[in-house]
Amino acid sequence: QSVLTQPPSVSGAPGQRVTISCSGSSSNIGSTYDVHWYQQLPGTAPKLLIYGNNNRPSGVPDRFYGSKSGTSASLAITGLQAEDEADYYCQSYDTSLRGVIFGGGTKLTVL
């Protein structure tokens, strides 16, 4: 059971907007530590998608948007494309566990 809670799955039609939530607590997301998001395409290594809550690495389309509020964070994907079908993970740091933590992952299906 992951410290950060994500929905197991979300889906949307091409062109639509979807959001993936990541719920934590005061010892992780609710503390001073940022939230980061990763995209894992089938059979490949995870790739950093959003860092520092809402920053995109070079090459990541602006269709991907991250936000953080209180003890939760969200990843929004607009203009869904078939190539966005993947697993998405949130990540932060937990002061009680003194370690990096991940959400359980969310499988995005593009209908």
Q: What whole-number distance in Å separates Cα of residue 20 and Cα of residue 31?
A: 20
Burial of residue 82 (CB within 10 Å: 0-12, 13-18, 19+) is exposed
SS3 for 32? coil
- Binding of other proteins by 28 (CB under 8 A): no
| Piece in contact with other proteins (CB under 8 A), picked from 15-23, 46-54, 68-76, 78-86 | 46-54
Q: Which of 91, 4, 3 is nearest to 39 (CA)?
A: 91
Query: Of residues 2, 5, 54, 71, which one binds other proteins by CB under 8 A?
Result: 2
Q: How far is the CB of 110 from other proteins (least distance, A)?
A: 20
The answer to whether the CB of 20 falls within 8 A of the CB of 106 is yes
End-to-end CA distance of the chain: give it in Å, rounded.
28
Judged by beta carbon, residue 62 or residue 98, the one nearer other proteins is 98
Query: By CB under 8 A, what part of segment 47-106 binds other proteins?
Result: 47-48, 50-52, 57, 89, 91-93, 97-105
Residues that bind other proteins (CB under 8 A): 2, 33-34, 36, 38, 45-48, 50-52, 57, 89, 91-93, 97-105
